[in-house]
Structure 1
Amino acid sequence: MLQNLEKEMKAFDSFCKKVYNYSSNKEGEVSWQLKIL
């Protein structure tokens, strides 16, 4: 039970990091495009 929970937490943590990286990349792209304009 505890090991499964640990696996779930690690999977959730890496998922959160992916989402965070993706959204911050999007923000970076948008600000970069605004600088060109």
Structure 2
Amino acid sequence: MLSPLALEIFFLGLLGLASLSIAWVSVIVVLRLYRGQR
């Protein structure tokens, strides 16, 4: 049985990865739009 702390750390890591990937994609999209306007 997993301890609640391990589960919490796992979900926090998953949440961090998800937010990082979303931020990365949004940065790429903004850069492409910025370059496309020039």
Q: TM-score, normalised by structure 1?
A: 0.90
More helix by share: 1
Aligned residues: 35
List 4+ stretches of structure 1 deviating above 4 A: none
Alpha-carbon distance in structure 1 between the residues aligned to 2:13 and 2:32:
28
Q: Which runs of 5+ in 1 are unaligned?
A: none
The yes-or-no answer on 1:6 pairing with 2:24 is no
Gaps of 5+ in 2: none
CA RMSD, Structure 1 to Structure 2 (Å): 0.4
Residue from 21, 31, 37 that aligns with 2:24? 21
> What percentage of aligned pairs have identical amino acids?
6
Q: TM-score, normalised by structure 2?
A: 0.88
